[in-house]
């Protein structure tokens, strides 16, 4: 067995250990490398920045705990920004298992920024029906959600003053981890009800949303933990995403190194076989 | 009976399908009212569909426990987890928090469901690393191109990469915005044509596999 | 620190480590956690469906606001559940016929407008730009998404990939060159997706480890450290036992 | 058109001197503020008010020709009287106000076939909303005012009633595309039922044969997975069709076939398919009921079990067809470490990068369906594929021609390419 062959056959648990350490060490001993902001993230930030006070921002938290590390910080950063700008926030989720997370995010940030439920924001909760919910919201918000998450009737809530359907909202940001997600909000929402919209998504979804970004169907995109970190640095409130960036750097470097090693061994192995 | 069991469902699909497609082009309030009602109905039916999806799992594990098949103990764990969650959930009226105070249901969610589901997917990070080392090989020119693009994007999307190779940020931005977007666009167009063709076949009864189940 | 948070930290840490034990190998501790996960999430879905659908979308509107029209979807929903009654299971077809019909009908025009027209519209861009006073010019800037050179690259990418998924002509002659171009475009896009997926998975790991680090704090009683020892111990004991018993084929 | 030219000429004729006077006046008073250096001449002419076409009612459209005073400083006000009386417009409610060099028809999104007026004209839409109440069926009086500094000049009052419409003409292109594409698909299916249709060779299928051949040489089994979805999913159906082909080859080469399942119904269907394949290969005696076997529905337990099979039995060829999720990487990585030839086919685009890097050959997205149609020759499948191909060909043509026309439009500074381009726009 040649050296290359032996190296390729090492127990994968050693690699597990390497990647575990690459994540753990930067988390324990952060370096704080600077983060550059991409135009995609800036798109969402600047649009929110341009909105007048009391504009209606609609946030849909379409993710579950599996994507919490990526989308939770995005949601927190967006909410902090919106509350700082004194926007009215309507939030909901299309993913049943995301209800608890969405509720936590809303209560936590609202408490921290001193915002009042019903006046400054409302959390509508979850509803089944996926895309049908989006259309129904575009037709009549009060029919889709007769009551909010806490069971209070939505009709007459001060935060919903002048809002009858998706046609009346100023900006929508869908935070999606899959389907239904950002695309569904475009196809079944914006396509007909014509509001401005931006998106946030997991790293896995992000490359697939670039055609929509180019065509202006969404005016900004926050992609994965990196996107969240960019947003955090834009609003100048460093949170978990910025804290995770060093570990992200280390793991990426490790993976790149592993891929290179793998291919070096592979090529040397092949040339040996070619000679033999 | 064939009429009732085979023909009529196809007629329902045809009528509802054509109706809802036509609705898109008709701005009249009557048509908008129809859309409001039908989507409201779908919302409620969606709840029943969810129950349907869940119950098959119910059944599979009940059988396992009854027959005491290999690993039935795990099925008991599953049942215990499910029944426990339901009991706690009903107790809390299905709310994770009431006026910002966490309920027992919220506790189960935050301290059991969130870490369990989160970790299930986090273990993939380790497997990617091991696969990166053992099997992401440039077997062909295509795979080599793929890996090269992947390495650039991986470096360009983290601060360290941009620090070491300042160009990688711009290059990966260009890959995503131009090359990736064009491919995704072609795929999107192709898949959409497929989806429209499938929907049309369903409406006109050429494709019936969705009717599935149920004895004649 | 409230009591339930401390208990919660211990439970969460324990379950996290149990799942991570799969990295060593598939083992009963992992399986218990995995099944518990399925059970809890199914239970959660059931509770949420009950609360949202039965209480808030059906019971309250019908009983309190007398929206009798809502009995129609309830009826259709019940038809769906006849799937479990072998003799009446054909009735469920009506429900599926309705859902699938409506779903298809809603999707067709919206897909055409959002994914075909919009995408075609954006791909068709003039390759030249008219600068007032300067006349027509071609922009070479790769970094500007709207530049002429990028418009050409996108056009080539979209067309060659569409052609690659074209099954009515043999990929020979000039067709082969176009299809090859398409493959290379595809591979670059897959590479980008690969990079982003790696990023996403690593983020998940970072998220879990952040929690574990938080729970190793003394205020929680350091559950991470203690439970790590317990999990490793369990794995060793279970490993010993598996060695003593003859291996089973499953 | 004639009337418009006349109007333009006339306003030009009168605006000149008036403008000069105003400028002198402004200079005299010493106005250095952004108050208009020029001012309005005439009341806005030829105001047209009508129900906004292609909408659900509750909206009126106002159209009027441009004027030489159109500039940033001069503003237009759209005035509405809730009653129908033809009264004094100065008592009307201001429902919209904007600079007079904006709101041209050419800047709006109307395609050429629904454009209510020439591109150089002004337009405004009054909609039922918070500020105004517009009810379908009621008649309203509308007027226009030009505001320049202190000056406010009114147009004549025009009456109109909003009403709901039965067709959105802006979406005509969308409807035609649906009808056209639908027609093509059904025509192609009909044709495929009547005669054999050409489909190009799918290179991946050659790789499948090669892999089976190698397994036979090495005397090792073949592992075949059908994916995570159930039998209702097109990808699983395609996987089952391809399994038929693999099983037939395996039977004729007398190579062992292993098909672990995670869904009981799929297993039952695949058992039938395998049996049929062995019959067709003339080796029914070699068929083993338990070559298709059920493991578990749980994603990761299934993966661990299949990985175990790969490590123990060391199959020489692994096939991954159908839909996959995160488990794909765990499966293909173990397979690669055992040195097997691996062939994948999936429409799960998020897993494709991993299959491409860890497998020897990958059927990408639609190729999986094409391979299945190629093998089964089922008219509906083949016809649909052909229909989609025609759709793609049309889009390719539109992209090519459209880019040429759009470029020509810019280079020659002409408008006529829009006649073609508007048809392929999403205009609402």
Task: Give the closest residue to C58 by CA, choosing from C69, C43, C48.
Answer: C69
- Per-residue pLDDT band at D252 (split at 50, 70, 90): very high
Query: Chain D neighbours among B 91-120 (CB < 8 Å)?
Result: 120
Q: Which of D182, D190, D324 to mutate to test the interface with B (most CBs of B within 10 A)?
A: D182
Residues of B in contact with D356 (CB under 8 A): 142-143, 146
Q: Is D27 exposed, middle or buried (0-12, 13-18, 19+ CB in 10 A)?
A: exposed
Query: Chain D neighbours among C 112-151 (CB < 8 Å)?
Result: 112-114, 116-118, 120-121, 123-130, 136, 151
Match 């049942």 to its residue by tokens: B79
Q: Is B68 exposed, middle or buried (0-12, 13-18, 19+ CB in 10 A)?
A: exposed
Q: Which of D350, D357, D358, D425 to mutate to test the interface with A (most CBs of A within 10 A)?
A: D350
CB–CB of B113 and C37 under 8 A?
A: yes
CB–CB of B138 and A213 under 8 A?
A: no
Out of B112-116, D165-169, D255-259, D263-267, least confident range: D263-267
- Per-residue pLDDT band at C19 (split at 50, 70, 90): very high
Nearest neighbour of D411 by CB, restricted to C35, C108, C128 = C128
Nearest neighbour of A69 by CB, restricted to C23, C41, C203 = C203
pLDDT: which is higher, D10 or B54? B54
Phi-psi category of residue C84: left, alpha or beta, with phi > 0 → left and psi -120 to 50 → alpha: alpha
Q: How far is CA A276 from CA A215, A266, C89, in A?
A: 54, 15, 66
Cβ(B125)–Cβ(C209) under 8 Å? Answer: no
Cβ(D354)–Cβ(D332) under 8 Å? Answer: yes
CB–CB of C130 and D410 under 8 A?
A: yes
Q: Could you give the strand order of the β-sheet that contains D341-346, starting from the edge strand earlier in sequence?
A: D292-294, D257-261, D222-225, D317-321, D341-346, D361-364
Cβ(C116)–Cβ(D177) under 8 Å? Answer: yes
Give the pLDDT of residue D2: 33
Residue D325 reports pLDDT greater than 90: no
Q: Which of D185, D338, D366 to mutate to test the interface with B (most CBs of B within 10 A)?
A: D185
Q: For chain A, which residues score pLDDT lower than 70?
A: 1, 276
How close, in Å, is residue A4 to chain C by CA atoms? 24
- Per-residue pLDDT band at B70 (split at 50, 70, 90): confident
Tell me the C-alpha distance between D26 and D31, whole Å: 6
| H or E, element range at C208 | helix C174-214
How close, in Å, is residue A149 to chain C by CA atoms? 9
How close, in Å, is residue A146 to chain D by CA atoms? 22
Task: Read off the tokens for D60.
Answer: 């009126």
Task: Give the closest residue to A109 by CA, choosing from B98, B104, B100, B114.
Answer: B100
D353–chain B Cβ distance below 8 A for any pair? yes
D330–chain B Cβ distance below 8 A for any pair? yes
- State the sign of the Cα–Cα–Cα–Cα dihedral C48, C50, C53, C56: negative
Cβ(A35)–Cβ(A233) under 8 Å? Answer: yes
Query: What is the SS3 assignment for C30?
Result: helix
How close, in Å, is residue C173 to chain A by CA atoms? 30
Give the pLDDT mean for D299-312: 88
Tell me the C-alpha distance between B145 and D374, whole Å: 29
Q: Residue count of chain C, please give it.
A: 250
pLDDT in tens, D195-207: 999 998 888 888 9
How close, in Å, is residue B68 to chain D by CA atoms? 15
Residue D287 reports pLDDT greater than 60: yes
Task: Read off the tokens for B123.
Answer: 């273990």
How close, in Å, is residue B2 to chain A by CA atoms? 31
D415–chain C Cβ distance below 8 A for any pair? no
Instruction: Give the rounded percent of residues in chain D with a pLDDT score beyond 90.
Output: 54
Residues of D in contact with C163 (CB under 8 A): 392, 396
Give the pLDDT of residue B212: 57
Tell me the C-alpha distance between D92 and D299, whole Å: 69
How close, in Å, is residue A148 to chain C by CA atoms? 9
CB–CB of A20 and B126 under 8 A?
A: yes
D376–chain B Cβ distance below 8 A for any pair? no
Task: Read off the tokens for D193.
Answer: 């039922």
Residues of B in contact with D369 (CB under 8 A): 194
Question: What are the percentages of helix, strand and coil residues in chain A, rounded to 5?
Answer: 60, 15, 30
Give the angle D413-D419-D421 at the CA atoms, nearest 5°: 85
CB–CB of D350 and A204 under 8 A?
A: yes
Task: Give the closest residue to C1 by CA, choosing from C250, C226, C215.
Answer: C215
Cβ(D3)–Cβ(D22) under 8 Å? Answer: no
- Return the residue of D nearest to C183 by Cα: D364
CB–CB of D130 and A194 under 8 A?
A: no
β-pairing verdict for D48-51 and C129-131: unpaired
CB–CB of D130 and A162 under 8 A?
A: yes
pLDDT in tens, A85-120: 999 999 999 999 999 999 999 999 999 999 999 999
How close, in Å, is residue C63 to chain D by CA atoms? 32
Tell me the C-alpha distance between A171 and D124, whole Å: 23
CB–CB of D333 and B196 under 8 A?
A: no
pLDDT: which is higher, B12 or D231? B12
How close, in Å, is residue A31 to chain D by CA atoms? 32
CB–CB of B139 and D360 under 8 A?
A: yes
Task: Read off the tokens for C146.
Answer: 């709207």
Q: Which of A134, A148, A190, A202 to mutate to test the interface with C (most CBs of C within 10 A)?
A: A202
Residue D17 reports pLDDT greater than 50: no
Query: Chain D neighbours among B 126-145 (CB < 8 Å)?
Result: 127-128, 130-131, 134-137, 139, 142-143
pLDDT: which is higher, C152 or B207? C152
Give the pLDDT of residue D123: 93
Task: Read off the tokens for D3.
Answer: 């009337």
pLDDT in tens, D164-200: 999 999 999 999 999 999 999 999 999 999 999 999 8
Residue D20 reports pLDDT greater than 50: no
Tell me the C-alpha distance between A164 and A168, whole Å: 6
Task: Give the closest residue to C112 by CA, choosing from B206, D427, A210, A134.
Answer: D427
Task: Read off the tokens for A21.
Answer: 């350490």
Cβ(B32)–Cβ(A139) under 8 Å? Answer: yes
Give the pLDDT of residue D417: 92
Residues of D in contact with B24 (CB under 8 A): 171, 174
- State the sign of the Cα–Cα–Cα–Cα dihedral D111, D114, D119, D125: negative
Neighbours of A37 (CB within 10 A): 14
Beta strands in D65-139 (DSSP E): 75-81, 93-99, 122-127
Q: Which DSSP string do the residues of D318-354 spell out, in sequence order?
A: EEEES---THHHHHHHHHHHTT-EEEEEE--GGGHHH
pLDDT in tens, D72-83: 889 999 999 876
CB–CB of C203 and A203 under 8 A?
A: yes
Which of B1-15, D9-23, D206-220 has the highest mean predicted lDDT (pLDDT)?
Answer: D206-220
Q: Mean of the per-residue pLDDT values for chain D?
A: 85
Residue B206 reports pLDDT greater than 50: yes
Residues of A in contact with D349 (CB under 8 A): 208
Q: Which of B35, B38, B39, B108 to mutate to test the interface with A (most CBs of A within 10 A)?
A: B39
C210–chain A Cβ distance below 8 A for any pair? yes
Task: Read off the tokens for D48.
Answer: 């047209």
Task: Read off the tokens for B202.
Answer: 């369903």
Phi-psi category of residue A33: left, alpha or beta, with phi > 0 → left and psi -120 to 50 → alpha: beta
pLDDT in tens, C109-160: 999 999 999 999 999 999 988 877 777 888 888 888 788 999 999 999 999 9
> What is the rounded (10 degree) CA torsion for C142, C147, C148, C150?
50
Residue B194 reports pLDDT greater than 80: yes
Cβ(D142)–Cβ(D126) under 8 Å? Answer: yes
Chains that touch C (3 or more CB pairs under 8 A): A, B, D
What are D346's strand-pairing partners?
A: D364
CB–CB of D410 and C129 under 8 A?
A: yes
Residues of A in contact with D428 (CB under 8 A): 192, 194
Chains that touch B (3 or more CB pairs under 8 A): A, C, D
Task: Read off the tokens for B39.
Answer: 């989507």
How close, in Å, is residue A16 to chain B by CA atoms? 5
Nearest neighbour of A215 by CB, restricted to C65, C119, C192 = C119
Q: Which of B30, B158, B172 to mutate to test the interface with A (most CBs of A within 10 A)?
A: B158
Task: Give the closest residue to A173 by CA, choosing from A228, A215, A136.
Answer: A228
pLDDT in tens, C32-61: 998 999 899 989 999 999 999 999 999 999
Residues of B in contact with C106 (CB under 8 A): 20-21, 24
Assembly ipTM: 0.92
CB–CB of D201 and C170 under 8 A?
A: yes
pLDDT: which is higher, A214 or C248? A214
Q: How far apart are the first and last CA of chain A?
A: 13
Query: Chain D neighbours among A 198-227 (CB < 8 Å)?
Result: 204, 208
Cβ(C115)–Cβ(A187) under 8 Å? Answer: yes
What are D366's strand-pairing partners?
A: none
């Amino acid at each position: 067995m040649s050296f290359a062959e032996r190296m390729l056959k090492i127990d994968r648990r050693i690699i597990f250990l390497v990647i575990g350490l690459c994540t753990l060490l930067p988390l324990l001993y952060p370096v704080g490398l600077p983060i550059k902001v991409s135009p995609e993230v800036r798109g969402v930030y600047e649009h929110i920045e341009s909105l007048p006070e009391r504009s209606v921002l609609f946030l849909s938290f379409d993710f579950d705990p599996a994507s919490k590390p990526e989308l939770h910080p995005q949601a927190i950063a967006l909410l902090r920004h919106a509350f700082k700008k004194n926007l009215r926030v309507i939030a909901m989720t299309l993913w049943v298992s995301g209800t608890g997370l969405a509720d936590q995010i809303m209560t936590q940030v609202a408490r921290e920024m001193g915002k009042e439920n019903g006046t400054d924001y409302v959390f509508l909760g979850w509803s089944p029906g996926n895309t049908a919910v989006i259309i129904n919201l575009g037709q009549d918000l009060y029919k889709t959600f007769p009551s909010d998450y806490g069971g209070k009737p939505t009709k007459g809530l001060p935060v919903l003053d002048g809002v009858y359907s998706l046609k009346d909202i100023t900006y929508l940001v869908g935070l999606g981890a899959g389907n239904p997600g950002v695309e569904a909000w475009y196809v079944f929402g914006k396509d007909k009800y014509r509001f401005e919209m931006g998106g946030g998504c997991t790293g896995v979804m992000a490359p697939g949303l670039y055609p929509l970004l180019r065509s202006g169907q969404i005016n900004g995109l926050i992609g994965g933990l990196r996107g969240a970190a960019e947003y955090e640095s834009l609003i100048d409130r460093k949170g978990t995403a910025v804290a995770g960036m060093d570990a992200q750097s280390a793991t990426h470097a490790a993976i790149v190194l592993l891929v290179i090693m793998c291919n070096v061994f592979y090529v040397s192995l092949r040339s040996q076989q070619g000679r033999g | 009976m064939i009429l009732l069991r085979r023909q009529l469902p196809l007629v329902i699909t045809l009528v509802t399908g054509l109706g809802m497609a036509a609705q898109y082009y008709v701005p009249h309030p009557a048509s908008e009212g129809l859309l409001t009602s039908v989507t409201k109905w779908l919302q409620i039916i969606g709840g029943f569909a969810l129950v349907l999806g869940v119950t098959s799992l119910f059944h599979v594990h009940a059988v396992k426990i009854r027959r005491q098949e290999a690993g039935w103990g795990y099925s008991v764990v599953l049942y215990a987890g499910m029944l426990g969650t339901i009991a706690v959930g009903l107790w809390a009226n299905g709310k994770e928090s009431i006026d910002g105070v966490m309920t027992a249901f919220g506790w189960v969610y935050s301290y059991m469901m969130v870490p369990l589901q989160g970790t299930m997917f986090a273990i993939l990070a380790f497997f990617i690393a091991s696969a990166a080392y053992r099997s992401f090989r440039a077997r062909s020119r295509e795979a080599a191109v793929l890996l090269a693009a992947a390495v650039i994007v991986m470096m360009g999307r983290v601060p360290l990469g941009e620090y070491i190779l300042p160009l990688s940020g711009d290059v990966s931005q260009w890959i995503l915005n131009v090359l990736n977007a064009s491919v995704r666009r072609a795929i999107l167009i192709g898949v959409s044509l497929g989806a429209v063709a499938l929907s049309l076949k369903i409406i006109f009864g050429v494709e019936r596999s969705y009717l599935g189940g149920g004895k004649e | 620190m409230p009591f339930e948070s401390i208990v919660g930290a211990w439970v969460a840490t324990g379950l996290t480590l149990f799942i991570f034990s799969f990295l060593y190998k598939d083992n009963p501790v992992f399986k218990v956690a995995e099944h518990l996960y399925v059970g809890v999430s199914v239970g959660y879905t059931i509770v949420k469906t009950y609360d949202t659908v039965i209480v808030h979308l059906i019971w309250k509107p019908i009983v309190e606001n007398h929206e009798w029209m809502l009995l129609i979807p309830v009826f259709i929903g019940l038809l769906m559940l006849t799937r479990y009654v072998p003799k009446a299971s054909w009735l469920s077809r009506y429900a599926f016929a309705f859902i699938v019909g409506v779903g298809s009908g809603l999707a067709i025009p919206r897909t055409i407008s959002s994914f075909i027209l919009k995408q075609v519209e954006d791909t068709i861009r003039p390759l030249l730009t008219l600068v007032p006073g300067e006349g027509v010019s071609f922009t070479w800037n790769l970094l500007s998404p709207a530049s002429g050179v990028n418009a050409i690259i996108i056009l080539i990418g979209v067309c060659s990939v569409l052609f690659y998924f074209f099954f009515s002509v043999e990929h020979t002659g000039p067709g082969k060159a176009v299809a090859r171009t398409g493959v290379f475009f595809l591979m670059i896009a897959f590479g980008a997706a690969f990079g982003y997926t790696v990023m996403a998975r690593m983020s998940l790991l970072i998220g879990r480890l952040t929690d574990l680090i938080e729970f190793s704090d003394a205020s929680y009683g350091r559950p991470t450290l203690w439970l790590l020892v317990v999990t490793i111990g369990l794995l060793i004991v279970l490993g010993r036992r598996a060695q003593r018993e003859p291996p089973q084929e499953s | 058109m004639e009337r418009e030219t006349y109007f333009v000429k006339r306003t030009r004729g009168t605006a000149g001197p008036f403008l000069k006077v105003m400028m002198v006046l402004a200079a005299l008073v010493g106005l250095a503020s952004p108050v208009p250096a020029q001012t309005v001449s005439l009341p806005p002419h030829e105001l047209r008010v009508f129900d906004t076409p292609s909408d659900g009612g509750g909206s009126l459209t106002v159209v009027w020709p441009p004027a030489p005073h159109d500039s940033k400083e001069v503003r237009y006000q759209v005035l509405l009287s809730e009653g129908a009386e033809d009264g004094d417009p100065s008592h009307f409610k201001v429902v919209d106000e904007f600079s007079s060099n904006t709101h041209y028809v050419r800047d709006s999104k109307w395609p050429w076939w629904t454009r209510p007026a020439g591109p150089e004209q002004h337009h405004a839409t009054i909609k039922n909303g918070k500020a105004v109440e517009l009810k379908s069926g009621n008649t309203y009086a509308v007027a226009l005012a030009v505001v320049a500094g202190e000056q406010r000049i009114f147009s004549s009052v025009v009456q109109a009633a909003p009403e709901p419409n039965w067709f959105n003409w802006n979406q005509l292109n969308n409807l035609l595309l649906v009808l056209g594409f639908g027609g093509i698909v059904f025509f192609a299916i009909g044709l495929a039922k009547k005669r054999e249709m050409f489909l190009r060779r799918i290179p991946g299928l050659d790789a499948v044969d090669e892999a089976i051949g190698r397994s036979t040489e090495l005397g090792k089994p073949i592992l075949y997975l059908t994916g995570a979805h159930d039998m209702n999913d097109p990808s699983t159906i395609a996987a089952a069709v391809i399994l038929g082909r693999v099983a037939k080859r395996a039977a004729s080469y007398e190579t062992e076939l292993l098909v672990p399942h995670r869904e009981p119904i799929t297993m039952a269907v695949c058992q039938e398919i395998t049996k049929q394949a062995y019959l067709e290969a003339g080796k029914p005696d070699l068929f083993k009921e338990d070559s298709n076997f059920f493991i578990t529905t749980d994603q990761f337990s299934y993966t661990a079990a299949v990985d175990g099979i790969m490590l123990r039995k060391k199959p020489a060829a692994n096939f991954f067809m159908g839909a996959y999720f995160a488990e794909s990487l765990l499966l293909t990585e173990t397979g690669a470490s055992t040195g097997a030839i691996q062939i994948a086919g999936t429409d799960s685009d998020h897993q494709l990068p991993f299959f491409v890097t860890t497998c020897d050959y990958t059927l990408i997205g639609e190729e999986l369906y094409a391979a299945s149609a190629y093998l089964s020759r089922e008219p509906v499948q083949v016809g649909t594929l052909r229909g989609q191909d025609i759709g793609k060909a049309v889009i390719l043509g539109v992209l090519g021609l459209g880019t040429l026309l759009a470029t020509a439009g810019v280079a020659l500074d002409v408008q006529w390419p829009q006649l073609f381009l508007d048809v392929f726009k999403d205009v609402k």
